[in-house]
Structure 1
Amino acid sequence: MKYIDLHADTILPLMQHGDQASLYDDPETHINIQKLQKGDALAQCFAVWLPDSNFDLMDVDPLFSPQNHEEDMAYIHQAVNRLNKEINANSAHIAWAKNASSIRENHENGKISAILTLEDARAVNDSLDNLTYLHHLGFNMMGLIWNHENCFGFPNSLNPELNQKSLKKFGIEAVQYMNDLNITIDVSHLNDGGITDVLEHSQKPVVATHSNARALALHSRNLIDEHIKGIANTGGVIGLCISPRFLNGSGDDSTISDMIRHLDYLYNKGGEDVLAIGTDFDGTTGRFEIGSPAEVPKLFERLEQHGWPLKRIEKLAYQNALRIFEK
């Protein structure tokens, strides 16, 4: 079964492992090309995550710690250049893709597709011109925020008042402009009030690349029922996240049983067209029953045993995500 993964943080650990590390066979990352091939991956989204000032990047660049717009942009370029280097070095196995047509073309040529995404669009820095620039750089899907306030709005929070704060004025303007540019908006990490605003103002499908159901795992990063239905109503998708915290609310175990509980719930609340995969490989820790792309087929096997029809499994695995990339 082919599959598309909407979110992974592999670029950063690859950079941390040094210039000699290779995306082809790095043994320390959840994702490498060999594992993607073994798991029959159709496309992998590689997120550029913008570290905060508390994150130690000394092993990436001892003179660099992103904390302002210029340094954020410099880091984005550094990360994109590293991924581009890896794709060029492994061009027999993997190739860039920006839409569904290029994903299909790569597949016909026997190659996995690499899709560039952004996690925390704070580098936009209150400028629509910066949004345009990032789009031209290759980012066709962007997470508005990570865990800190930025020019768009506010992150998910355990504080109910903060969790209901609306998008900022620029955030609403940016949502509409991103629609015009055909940048898919990712609301994972955004607070509840912000997600409500995105769903109200976006005229295009909205995605949550790596989020689960809050009713099953009480964490503010997970989605309430209203937002599951709202994302489905936009024609968007929700990528199942394998992080233990977002599967069971606590503990270190990421199990297929918990994944299926969330998928059943998302299906019951949002229908089969909202289902997708967004593992968060290389961005989470724990004990994983599915610990690499090579093991993703286990999920599809268990879903079949669970009674899911093949058509629904195919929609989860790749068809729904591919629909998002059609335009």
Structure 2
Amino acid sequence: MAELYSADFHCDVLWKLLENPSLSFEQDVTNALDVTLPRLRQAGAVLQTFAIYVSERMEKSMLPILRSIDLFQRKVLTVPEITLVRTSDEAAKLQGSGKIGAMLSLEGADGLNGDLAMLRILFALGVRAVGLTWNHANWAADGVMEPRGGGLTKKGRALVEECNRLGILVDVSHLSDRAFWDVLHLSSKPVIASHSNCRAICPHPRNLADDQLTALLAAGGMVGVTFVPQFVASHHPVQIADVLRHIERICELGGAEQLMFGSDFDGIETYVDGLAHPGEVEQLQKALLSHYSESTVAGFCSGNMLRFLAMHLPD
């Protein structure tokens, strides 16, 4: 069997570093991080997206966002085998390069405070995907846990349009259902769900319903199957076989070539059995190979994501 590369569209290492800057991505002797350089090597990683997440207890401003980017630059990009991914060409050159691509995303636009100049600054600093909300409401939209279930605000619509213009991917994970549909109808570019599963398999509000998945796929978007146990199954313990049920559902909806992974490692405290960090992704790959062809599994693990980024990141 040829080596399977891995790619992951969502982890929260930067949040943990923001909370505790003494932690080391390069060599985490404390075992406080899920995603580390040794574990990415172990996974055969070709790309890792690092989310910028500002927790509820921090101020909603650009300061923690910029501090997160500073940590990314000082603690991740200083590693010689890590290479920053901002352009379609940089994404296209990853496979077989011997490098691990690192891309920045923003999880929740709260800190921009409605100022699109802040978005443009983040683009200049390398941010290439933006999720409009976390679980609650902000100036741009309602999150999935906001009881009123509102959609995009006027400023939120302007944010989506500016992301489209710049070449920033719009991420619909965490959005209310109404905001999801608002984004899908408004966006002139394919959107992603970086870390969401199938509501038909596990009825958690953070997962996407079949009609949402079908529409997102029809518009050329990508779905990142996530390893958050409560999004995978409502029983415990959660097994890798439960993750496969979501993958099968997306394939049934026609998304075999638009499926990727968005682990949410470092954003979770409990884990799918045998899937607690990137070094264990091999267990998922082995399970997939018992159900799908090697080429299909290679697509799930990295090929689909790399192809999408090569098509949709800016030049």
What is the TM-score when the length of structure 2 is the normalising length? 0.92
Pick from 218, 234, 246 the counterpart of residue 219 of structure 2: 234
1:249 Cα shift? 3.2
1:3 alignment partner in structure 2? 6
- What count of residue pairs does the alignment treat as equivalent? 305
Structure 1 gap segments, 5+ residues each: 54-64
Report the equivalent of 2:187.
202
How far apart in 1 are the matches of 2:91 and 2:46?
8
**Separation of aligned partners in 2, 1:277 and 1:210:** 7
Counterpart in the other structure of 1:293? 278
**Which one of 246, 253, 264 corresponds to residue 262 of structure 1?**
246
**Matched-pair contact (CA < 8 Å) for 2:77–2:84:** no
Q: 2:70 aligns with which of 77, 81, 89?
A: 81
2:119 corresponds to 1:131 = yes
Other structure's SS at 1:141 match: strand
d(CA) in 2 for partners of 1:203, 1:88: 32
List structure 1 segments (4+ residues) > 6 angstroms apart after TM superposition: none
Match of 2:49 among 45, 63, 83: 45
Aligned partner letter, 1:6: F
Amino acid at match of 2:264: D
| 1:86 partner letter | K
Cα displacement (A) at 1:106 = 5.0
Q: Displacement, 1:25? A: 1.8
Alpha-carbon RMSD: 1.7
Match in the other structure for 1:113? 101
For 2:26, the equivalent position in structure 1 comes to 24
- Structure 1 residue 213, shift from structure 2 partner: 0.3
* 1:56 counterpart residue number: none
1:130: Cα distance to partner? 2.1
Q: Percent sequence identity over matched residues?
A: 30
Structure 1 match to 2:156:
171
Q: Which amino acid aligns with 2:172?
A: V
- Cα separation, partners in 2 of 1:88 and 1:47, compared to 1, 3 Å: closer
SS in 1 for 2:127: coil
Q: Does 1:34 align with 2:38?
A: yes
Distance in 2 (CA, whole Å) between partners of 1:286 and 1:125 is 32
Q: Secondary structure at the match of 2:203?
A: coil
Task: Report the 3-state secondary structure (helix = DSSP H, G, I; strand = E; otherwise coil) of the residue aligned with 1:325.
Answer: helix
Report the 3-state secondary structure (helix = DSSP H, G, I; strand = E; otherwise coil) of the residue aligned with 1:90: coil
Tell me which residue corresponds to 1:62: none
Long gaps (5+) in structure 2: none
CA positional deviation for 1:75: 0.6
CA–CA distance in structure 2, aligned partners of residues 158 and 223 of structure 1: 16
